[in-house]
Amino acid sequence: MKKIWNIQEIKTLFKKPFLELIFEAQKIHRKHFNPSEIQISTLLSIKTGLCPEDCKYCAQSSRYKTNIKVEKLLKIDEIIEKAKQAKQSGSDRFCMGAAWKHPKERDMPYLIKIIQEVKKLGLETCMTLGSLNDSQAQQLYDAGLDFYNHNLDTSPKVYKKIITTRTYQDRLNTLNIIQKTGIKICSGGILGLGEKTHDRAELLMQLANLKKIPDSIPINMLVNIKGTPMENNKKINTFDFIKTIAVARIMMPQSYIRLSAGRENMSKNMQTMCFIAGVNSIFYGCKLLTTNNPKQKDDLQLFQQLGLYPKKKIIYNKNLKNINTLNTKMINNTSKYYNAIMN
Ligand code: SF4
C-alpha cells in the first residue's frame, strides 16, 4: 500500500545530520537505480513570453519587464529540427513548453501534430502548457504524449505569495486530470523563493502524497532574473538544496529526480553532491526555456570525471569521442558498483 507521509516524519528527515541523510538517500537510490546512469531531457520553448500568469520568478510573465525575446508559436518543422538535434546529443526525452495559462482549443491540432512527429523520432515527449481540461488531456494522451510537466513550485502557503493568478488547488486539479488519462506526471518545485525548511517539507509531502507519485521530479534552484520581483532573492544555501534532494530521494525512491533550472549557477562540486544525494536526471542543452544551462561539453566532461553515463547512448562529436568507449566499458562492467540490495 502506498505510504502517506506526514509533515513530522519529513521534518525529522530534514533534521538528520547531513552525512547520515546523504548516506541513507544514496542507499535507497542504489536499490532502485543504476547509480551511474543519468536520464537526459532537452527542453524547448515553443511559445515564449507574454504569459498572462504572474509567477514572480518568471521572465515570461507579461507583468514584468525582462530581457526575453517574445516569440510566437514555433513552426512544426523548427521544433522537429530541434528534436533531432536533442536526440543526437543524447537526450531521450524532448520537453516542450508554452507560456500559456492553458492551451486554447484551436491549439490542439498543432500540439497533437508535434507530439506525433517527435514520437516518430523515437523520443519520449513531455509538454508543459499550463492547466488542462479533461478533453485536452485526453487528446494529448491519445496523440501519444508520455509526460506532462506541471510544477507545484513550493508549499501552499508560499505559493499564494508567489502567484496570484491561479491557486494551488488549480494545480492539483490539473495534476489529477492528467493522472486519470495515463500520461506520466513530471512535477517538482523551485528552491530559493524565500521558503523555509517547513515549506520544502510541505512541497515534498504534496508530491509524495499525490495519488500516484510523479515519475519525474524537477528540482530547480531559483535563477534571479532581472526585472522580476525575485531578482534580488537571497541564494539558497547549498547544503539546504542538497538536503532537499536527499529527502526527496528517500520519500520518492523510484522517481527520476532532475536538476533543472539554476544548474548553471552550481559548481561542479555542488552538482556532484546532488548526484550523490539522489539526482539521476538533468536537462541538457544550452538553454532552459529562457534561462541559461551549462554547455553540453562541460556536462559530458563532468560525466566523464564522475563515471556517469547517459541512459541513452550519446552520438558523440569529435572532441568527446573517448567518452563513448568509456560508456560501453562502464555499462558492461557493473561489478564496479556497490550494490545496496546485496550489501
Ligand atoms: S512560470 Fe509558466 S505560467 Fe508562470 S509566468 Fe512563467 S510561463 Fe507563465
pLDDT beyond 90 at 297: no
Q: How far apart are CA 176 and CA 154, in angstroms?
A: 18
Tell me, what's the pLDDT at 291? 63
> Which residue has its alpha carbon closest to ligand 1 atom 7?
99
Check if 58 has its Cβ closer than 6 Å to any atom of ligand 1.
yes
CATH code, 50: 3.20.20.70
> Which residue has its alpha carbon closest to ligand 1 atom 5?
61
- Site to probe by mutation for ligand 1, drawn from 48, 53, 151, 223 as the one with most ligand atoms within 8 Å of Cβ, is 53
Picking from 57-66, 143-152, 184-193, 301-310, which range would have the lowest pLDDT averaged per residue?
301-310
Tell me, what's the pLDDT at 56? 95
Tell me, what's the pLDDT at 283? 82
Check if 61 has its Cβ closer than 6 Å to any atom of ligand 1.
yes
Q: Closest Cα to residue 278, out of 257, 294, 304? A: 257
pLDDT cut 70: percent of the chain above it:
88
Check if 282 has its Cβ closer than 6 Å to any atom of ligand 1.
no
Render pLDDT for 69-89 as a digit per residue (tens, 0 to 9).
888 888 999 999 999 888 887
Give the chain's domain count. Answer: 1
Check if 60 has its Cβ closer than 6 Å to any atom of ligand 1.
yes
Q: Is 274 annotated as a binding residue?
A: no
Picking from 62-71, 237-246, 319-328, which range would have the lowest pLDDT averaged per residue?
319-328
Give the chain's radius of gyration (CA, Å): 19
Q: How far apart are CA 53 and CA 183, in angstroms?
A: 24
- Site to probe by mutation for ligand 1, drawn from 45, 61, 152 as the one with most ligand atoms within 8 Å of Cβ, is 61
Confidence band, pLDDT 50/70/90 cuts, at residue 298: confident
299 belongs to a structural domain? yes
Tell me, what's the pLDDT at 287? 60
Task: Name the helix (H) or strand (E) containing 258.
Answer: strand 256-259
> Which residue has its alpha carbon closest to ligand 1 atom 2?
99
pLDDT beyond 50 at 175: yes
Domain that holds residue 208: 7-310
Rounded to an integer, the average pLDDT of 279-307 is 77
Q: How far apart are CA 229 and CA 66, in angstroms?
A: 11
Return the bridge partners of 217, or none.
257
Tell me the CA distances in angstroms from 63 to 74, 151, 246, one per residue in order. Answer: 23, 20, 35
pLDDT beyond 80 at 338: no
Tell me, what's the pLDDT at 85? 86
- Cell 525548511: give the residue: 197
Picking from 53-67, 184-198, 274-288, which range would have the lowest pLDDT averaged per residue?
274-288
36 belongs to a structural domain? yes
Give the residue with greater pLDDT, 68 vs 324: 68
Q: Is 55 annotated as a binding residue?
A: yes
216 belongs to a structural domain? yes
335 belongs to a structural domain? no
pLDDT averaged over the chain?
Answer: 87
Rounded to an integer, the average pLDDT of 143-160 is 95
Rounded to an integer, the average pLDDT of 186-206 is 97
Q: How far apart are CA 299 and CA 281, in angstroms?
A: 12
What is the value of pTM for the model shown? 0.85
pLDDT beyond 80 at 193: yes
- Site to probe by mutation for ligand 1, drawn from 54, 55, 127, 228 as the one with most ligand atoms within 8 Å of Cβ, is 55
Task: Name the helix (H) or strand (E) containing 186.
Answer: strand 184-186
273 belongs to a structural domain? yes
Active-site positions read 51, 55, 58, 95, 126, 186, 258
Pairing of strands 147-149, 189-191: unpaired
Check if 291 has its Cβ closer than 6 Å to any atom of ligand 1.
no
User: What does residue 51 show for φ and ψ, rounded to 5 degrees?
Assistant: -80, 135
Q: Are 55 and 163 in contact (CB under 8 A)?
A: yes
Q: How far apart are CA 211 and CA 4, in angstroms?
A: 10
